[in-house]
Structure 1
Amino acid sequence: MDLWSYAGKRVVIAGCFSGIGEAAARELVRLGAEVHGVDVRESAVPMASFRIVDLKEPAAIDKAVEEIGGQIDGLFNCAGLPQTFPALDVMKVNFLGMRHWTEQWIPRINRGGGVATIASNAAYRLQQRLAQTLELVATPDFASGLAWCEEHMGLVADGYTFSKEAIVVYTLKRAAELARQGVRLNVTLPSPVATPMMRDHFVKVAPKEVFDAFSEPVGRLSQPEEQAYPLLFLNSDAACFVSGLAMPVDFGFTGGVNTGVLDVQKLIAGARAG
């Protein structure tokens, strides 16, 4: 048995039009998986099937899951909105819709299969408001989660960082709850990535110094493939005992922050002063 192989595996990927999701979908196809994709824009990746799905719409999610149908071995959650969109739309896609999408697939995931979701290393301070995030994660469905967000817009802010913190906390909590069912859930925390989203959105709402700070200590943006490969590992049989992991994919950023080697605010201030 080749623990690294996806030959004969059936997988679903959300967010395969561009960036990390497109890179992951292409590699999954290359590795022999039967890949079914969804996104709000048509993907050029030659998958087994593709559907236009807006994660802001629970009914569209339910319809897509029923149409794809059957059992799967892996779910890849790569869709997301940046903070250039309305805050509640960001929360709907990055957390509420992603959670609803994931929950619809969980009963269809074969034992030993997994869910690999993209968050962000912008969630590095999630412990500071963990209690509030757990309140949101405890809401039972999309509608109640949205109502909670509407009542806590001070926490939600622009939606981006808080949505990423929420999907991390949700993943860790559900991983423990589903362990005895043999379903694994993990999440990656990428550093800034050279994707169309970076070019077309992120750079419009934050100065270059912010992305430079979150790209330390390596000093460059990561490439989509560099973020896709860890996702494929987490849903492979090689990661059969890995669940509940929030995996930094940032070339030392998280380690540097946690050990005091990096101070993000000082890095940003220093870059601006320079």
Structure 2
Amino acid sequence: MDLLDVFGLRGKNVLVTGAGSGMGKAAARLLTELGANVYATVRRKPVDFAVTKQIPCDLGSQAGVDTMLAQTPDELDAIYICHGISNTQGNRNAMQVQLTNFYSFKYITEQLLPRIADNGSVTFISSDGGKAWRENIAACREIIGCKTWESASAWYEAHPDKTAGGYVFAKQCQHVYVMDMCQNEAFISRKIRINAIAPGMTKTGLTDDFNASICGDAEKGQAILEKLFLAPWNGRWASAEEMGYPMAAVGSHLFSYMSGQILYIDYGTASTWEMDELTKS
């Protein structure tokens, strides 16, 4: 059996957002090696390997997203939505975090859904930071229900308590969206799968930004995060490939019967949290 046939992406059109660095870049590179025609969005710098097309754009605004969509092929087999930004100190760009890290994911998915082939796939990069989605499910569903970029922006402005949650609330919304949409008529009628990976501590080009968002200092922030997430199991940071490669696989035919799932890739951190919560006295 040819391994490329198992993945089922040879000669297929796929979109990878955030392909210029980190997990998105790792996924895009693997997808090219699997024979896919990769349309890669980039923001800060171009990818350094051959893809079918590079699309420079900023996915934090509707205009930027629409520019990207206009350069995306009319037929797609899979989309991998990997872009994102970190919080800044004091959440000064909280609105931008929400629009970039969640609403653009929803907007891109729903704009491209008619172009995705039957039995195709949508895969998000989320985070284990979104694990407490149950606490905010009502608010998540409200923003999911916003039909336009303008109405979403208005909702965020009217709910500063949620936008102040920055990155975490956006990831919670991603989790709820994946689970809500997996058997939604628009997806299930054409057997289009939707899943997300939820990475744990991963070294990427944004690592210093994320670390600094904790307390304003990247080095101190890293120490805080390592004490919280890595020290309990004497763990290590993951590489971008350890997230990008599974993501590429999830959107392939290898996972043709999986939809609506949040795949935690965090060396058991989320499972440990779950068990602690269930067994605490």
Q: For residue 202 of structure 2, give the secondary structure of its aligned residue in structure 1.
A: coil
CA drift at 1:163: 0.7
- 1:12-43 deviations in whole A, cap 9, x for unaligned? 01001110011111111111110001122232
Q: Retained in 1: the 8 A contact 2:27–2:248?
A: yes
CA drift at 1:112: 1.0
**TM-score normalised to the size of structure 1?**
0.90
Q: For residue 259 of structure 1, give the secondary structure of its aligned residue in structure 2.
A: helix
Q: Tell me if 1:3 matches 2:12.
A: no
Q: 1:51 aligns with which of 31, 52, 55?
A: 55
Q: Map 1:14-163; keep pairs closer than 5 Å.
A: 14-44=17-47, 45-84=49-88, 86-163=93-170
Q: Retained in 2: the 8 A contact 1:189–1:249?
A: yes
1:211–1:109 distance in 2 versus 1, CA, 3 Å: farther
CA distance in 1, matches of 2:233, 2:142: 34
Aligned to 1:224: 240
Output the aligned Cα RMSD: 1.9
Q: 1:203 aligns with which of 202, 211, 214?
A: 211
Q: Retained in 2: the 8 A contact 1:217–1:252?
A: no
- 1:82-133 deviations in whole A, cap 9, x for unaligned? 0026101111110112211121111111011101101110111111111111
| % identical equivalent positions | 28
CA drift at 1:261: 8.2
Question: What amino acid maps onto 2:253 in structure 1?
Answer: D
Q: Tell me if 1:180 matches 2:189.
A: yes
CA drift at 1:210: 2.3
**TM-score normalised to the size of structure 2?**
0.88
Q: Retained in 2: the 8 A contact 1:212–1:219?
A: no
Q: For residue 176 of structure 1, give the secondary structure of its aligned residue in structure 2.
A: coil
Aligned to 2:217: none
Structure 1 residues without counterparts, runs of 5 or longer: 264-274
**Paired positions, count:** 262
Structure 2 residues without counterparts, runs of 5 or longer: 215-220
Which is worse superposed, 155-164 or 63-72? 63-72
CA distance in 2, matches of 1:132, 1:57: 22
- TM superposition outliers: structure 1 runs of 4+ over 6 Å: none
CA distance in 1, matches of 2:24, 2:60: 18
1:140–1:261 distance in 2 versus 1, CA, 3 Å: closer
